[in-house]
Amino acid sequence: MPNLDTILHQLDQKARLDADWGQVASYIPQLARVDPAQFAISVVTADGQLHQAGDHGVAFSVQSITKVFTLAIALGRSGDQLWTRVGREPSGRAFNSIVQLEQENGRPRNPFINAGAIVTTDAVLGNRAPREALAEIIHFVRSAAGSGDIHINETVAASETAYGHRNFALAHFLAAHDNLTNSPDKVLGTYFHHCAIEMTTAQLAMAGRFLIHAPNMPRLVSPRRIRRLNAMMLTCGHYDGSGDFAYRVGIPGKSGVGGGILAIVPHQAAIAVWSPGLNRYGNSHRGTEALAELTTRMGWSIF
Ligand code: DON
């Protein structure tokens, strides 16, 4: 068996030597200011051990990775009814694309593109105040991670609210098709805040343990739901880069525009990687490269 700690150390060194970091997200001003030359990787194996290398103590904006947690909560609240409002197919389009929503009458393709995540956020809200829904989301994430030290960065949420024209357009379009039960402002306020949750890779890998499906891991959802969340991550977790990610990395993963990726080796491990520079799909460039090498060297694949 290859030594995991040695591999992680080598991946960290390689990221820094290579110095090809990709571009940080520019459409959220607070994220545009992050130094791209950072790299961290944490792996929790099914025996509960945490292995890591790089800047694993630095908290970053998890952004779309929270869509996995909000989907788990939305399915818990709405069950299969949720699928009447949002689909389960890859979109083949950018995460913030608007054109398909018009063509498909206000039903987003899947819960991980922005339009779909706005619908799942509305389902999590129900008829509650945003404060209550956000408390449930934070509670879920903290329980999953086993850490109380996970918070929302209000400055990032405000920064996205000020520049979130595309998301406002998506939310109003959903409302025009009666696919929101709350006002666009209320849903987006909640959405921008859960996207602005910050975690270290250590916390994120720990938070991913409930998706491993192994004994002694936190049991937050049923085994059937674990399989289904992983299926959504594999097919839709990297937007129009999902096929390439499945081909190169071979396991389910969910990316965020802050440069984080949560990836799951079913029954074996949860991996969190972070490097803020993005590839052309809006997914972490160095993070994807590191995951491709890690899964290859460890022999980790669902195929
Ligand atoms: O809504 C947005 O655009 C961001 N809050 C999240 C997008 C995101 O993370 C896309 N991921 N690669």
Task: Let me know if the fold of 4-63+198-298 is the same as that of 64-197.
Answer: yes
Atom of ligand 1 nearest to the CA of 192: 5
Residue 145 pLDDT greater than 90, yes or no: yes
**Residue 20 — very low, low, confident or very high, per pLDDT cuts 50/70/90?**
confident
How far apart, in whole angstroms, are the C-alpha atoms of residue 188 and residue 182? 10
Is the CATH number 3.40.710.10 carried by domain 4-63+198-298?
A: yes
Say yes or no to pLDDT of 182 above 70. yes
What number does CATH give the domain 64-197?
Answer: 3.40.710.10
User: Is 257 labelled a binding residue?
Assistant: yes
- Mean pLDDT along residues 182-210: 98
CA 84 to chain centre: 23
ipTM comes to: 0.97
* Residue 1 pLDDT exceeds 70: no
The residue extents of the domains of the chain are 4-63+198-298, 64-197
- Per the listing, tokens 């709350």 go with 182
- Pick the closest to residue 290 from 273, 277, 303 (CA basis): 273
Hey, is 262 helix, strand or coil?
A: strand
Nearest CA to ligand 1 atom 4: 63
Residues within 6 Å of ligand 1 by CB = 63-64, 95-96, 114, 160, 167, 195, 255-257, 282-283
Q: Look at residue 2 and tell me whether its pLDDT is greater than 90.
A: no
How far is residue 10 CA from its own chain's centroid?
A: 25
As annotated, the active-site residues are 64, 67, 191, 239, 257
Alpha carbon distance, N-terminus to C-terminus of the chain: 19
Pick from 60, 64, 163, 198 the residue to mutate for probing ligand 1's pocket: most ligand atoms within 8 Å of its CB: 64
| Centre of ligand 1 from the C-alpha of residue 206, in Å | 22
**Atom of ligand 1 at shortest range from CA of 196:** 5
pTM of the model: 0.97
